[in-house]
Structure 1
Amino acid sequence: MSTGPAERPRRLRTTPAMRDLLAEHRTHPRDLVLPMFVKERASEPVSLPSMPGVVQHTLDSLRRAATEAAEAGVGGLMLFGVPEVRDAVGSCATDPEGILNAGLRALVEEVGDDLVVMSDLCLDEFTDHGHCGVLDGAGRVDNDATLERYQDMALAQAETGAHMLGLSGMMDGQTLAVRQALDNAGHTDTSILAYSAKYASAFYGPFRDAVESQLQGDRRTYQMDPANRREGLREATLDLVEGADVVMVKPAMSYLDVLSDVAEASPVPVAAYQVSGEYAMIEAAAAQGWIERRRAIEESVLSIRRAGADVVLTYWATELAGWLR
């Protein structure tokens, strides 16, 4: 009589129903946040060659896309602005009528509380040098002077009705500075999403096209070194102490180890951003017929959830939510 293996894990994979019943992790539409771009004075949506399917919106197309996302069941929207004029201190970022703040008001008017409306709180889209902060006399990013600009941005964005502010600049002390500014102005219900472990990654290239970045050089003096894992948890811990309501790891797929570390330690929800380069690579490979597009999208987002993300920012949010429903 032949003997087989003592254990047969394959018994739990025999049918789709069996696999679905026993899946350890799932993605739900409400786990997803759609990043969006709104361009000042655009007369029609502008396609982005490096990000097929993603556009710079007009205010009208932004509203339509927000409604589509809400109907698909997406959980939130993250808005980035593309201004027409930039200067050294990013003046448009704090202008109540600037494109980002106007776009936030449009989203709040369109979807109300059906989705979480999130705003990007950073200066890089608005400065003529492309850095995430203001520069000192030697051309270096001045951390503490930048915090003052972030406080002004936070107040302007909170006034639009944005529910959650995404602090993406990687300045030391930014979470505490913004929390204090919001509370002192009575915006105690406005939440903070801290981009806690944001790495100086090669995978941001298409995003810089999307926001028409003016950056010369790099951001390695304030964004994190891709070699460092422990530092990611340190940064997240600092943001938690400073009052972050949600912490984030960015990029997602190349930093799943950091995401796992942060998720295991964090007492608050954890987000991860599937960035533009990750999106572009899958779209490019799928266009060549080298991978199955839908399976690759679903698997990539599931891997981020499996590593511990409660929330995933992805440019496929609306499409993926439709599939999941």
Structure 2
Amino acid sequence: MSLAPFPAARYRRLRRSSQIRDLVRENTLTVDDMIWPVFIRDGDGVEEPVTSMPGVVRRSVDKIVDAAREAADLGIPVICLFPYTDPSLKTKGCEEAWNPDNLTNRATRAIRDAGIDIAIMSDVALDPYNIDGHDGFVRDGKILNDETVEALVKQALSQAEAGVDIIGPSDMMDGRIGALRTALEAEGHQDVTLMSYSAKYASGFYGPFRDAVGASGNLKGDKSTYQMNPANGDEAMRMIARDLAEGADMVMVKPGMPYLDICRRVKDQFAVPTFAYQVSGEYAMIQAGAQNGWVDGQKVMMESLMCFKRAGCDGILTYFAPEVARVLHSL
């Protein structure tokens, strides 16, 4: 491309007014791009703050219904459910994961019974139910792949039967997408969507989330044998290709901002619905900076989310979703 030299080319002409800047904007952030992750706990009428995530609370099922209604009223298309499981229900066998009356399934049915027009996404992994804190079964310090996949199938089927629209396998076990797709088809849940956490890294940005779901104290060791090495990019492309071949409808990169290069590569290489999770550590850092007056919280929040769109993402899981929606509606 041959560009005119200065002064024929004055690039500031396209920046001189808000109207012209809007006219030539390359990317747009909308409420439709948001998925709101929320945390469920037992009880009634409970909204319990998560200390490491300012502004985020664990909600009892009745309050989750209120949150879903709030999200729908704001135009947020999807709410994503994560359970804070009572420690007494955590076992090595993780049986609570596929209990029809576990927190996720009860919240899903409650939202459905309330007639709220919103899509529901769920998490498929064993860590909220595992006394060892891992996403899979643990034997002699080793994470068991194939046995875990069998359990994930039972968990996903229980969620589909409760009325979940989008299942998000976040476990990073090999072969789980194919197993989940086969089981969902066989049980008549062919319309349930799989958003695979295909490129989920063994990141240090997950700490506040583990606090929120009560997994921090249980975790023995780390998750590096199944989550990806942060140094690797080509491996992420192989994970994406495999999950798509096995039946994933959408794919996710997690964490978000530290991996925008991966988001861009995924979109360019595969041209499929691509999502990123602005994880708890990213959220907590922005909130901490804002609360200490180090950054303009609203401006950084909006800028951080626009970065995902520029990197090629079709949508973002973010704890900021309601706040972003209010900002966008005020513009």
Task: Check whether TM > 0.5.
Answer: yes
Corresponding residue of 2:192: 190
Q: Give the C-alpha shift of residue 267 in structure 1.
A: 3.7
SS at match of 2:168: strand
Residues in 2 aligned to 1:246 and 1:153: alpha-carbon distance in whole angstroms:
19
Corresponding residue of 1:120: 123
Q: In the comparison of the two structures, how many residue pairs are matched?
A: 321
Amino acid at match of 1:245: D
Corresponding residue of 2:290: 286
SS at match of 1:192: strand
- Contact map agreement 1:70 1:111 (CA 8 A) in 2: no
- Contact map agreement 2:44 2:62 (CA 8 A) in 1: no
SS at match of 1:135: strand
Match 1:98 to one of 91, 102, 108: 102
SS at match of 1:141: strand
SS at match of 2:19: helix
Corresponding residue of 1:249: 253
Question: Share of identical aligned residues, percent?
Answer: 44
Would you say 1:240 and 2:244 are equivalent positions? yes
SS at match of 1:34: strand
Residues in 2 aligned to 1:179 and 1:22: alpha-carbon distance in whole angstroms:
42
Match 2:272 to one of 256, 268, 273: 268
Match 2:213 to one of 211, 214, 218: 211
Q: Give the C-alpha shift of residue 40 in structure 1.
A: 2.0
Corresponding residue of 1:147: 149
Residues in 2 aligned to 1:4 and 1:124: alpha-carbon distance in whole angstroms:
58
Q: Give the C-alpha shift of residue 145 in structure 1.
A: 0.3
Larger displacement relative to structure 2 (123-132 or 34-43): 34-43
Residues in 2 aligned to 1:37 and 1:191: alpha-carbon distance in whole angstroms:
21
Q: Give the C-alpha shift of residue 75 in structure 1.
A: 1.7
Larger displacement relative to structure 2 (82-91 or 240-249): 82-91
- Contact map agreement 2:252 2:277 (CA 8 A) in 1: yes
Instruction: Please tell me the root mean square deviation across aligned C-alpha atoms, in Å.
Output: 1.3
| CA displacement, residues 257-293 of structure 1 (integer Å, 9 cap, x when unaligned) | 0111111122421110000000000000011111101
Corresponding residue of 1:322: 326
- Contact map agreement 1:67 1:111 (CA 8 A) in 2: no
Corresponding residue of 1:12: 14
| CA displacement, residues 167-201 of structure 1 (integer Å, 9 cap, x when unaligned) | 10000111101001101111101110100000000
Corresponding residue of 1:173: 175
Q: Give the C-alpha shift of residue 89 in structure 1.
A: 2.0
Question: Tell me, which stretches of 5 or more residues in structure 1 are unaligned?
Answer: none
Corresponding residue of 2:136: 133
Amino acid at match of 1:234: R
Q: Which runs of 4+ in 1 moved over 6 A?
A: none
SS at match of 2:39: strand
| CA displacement, residues 63-118 of structure 1 (integer Å, 9 cap, x when unaligned) | 11111111111121110111112001211110001112111212233354x22210
Aligned pairs (5 A) from 1:66-77: 66-77=68-79
Larger displacement relative to structure 2 (172-181 or 38-47): 38-47
Q: Give the C-alpha shift of residue 7 in structure 1.
A: 1.1
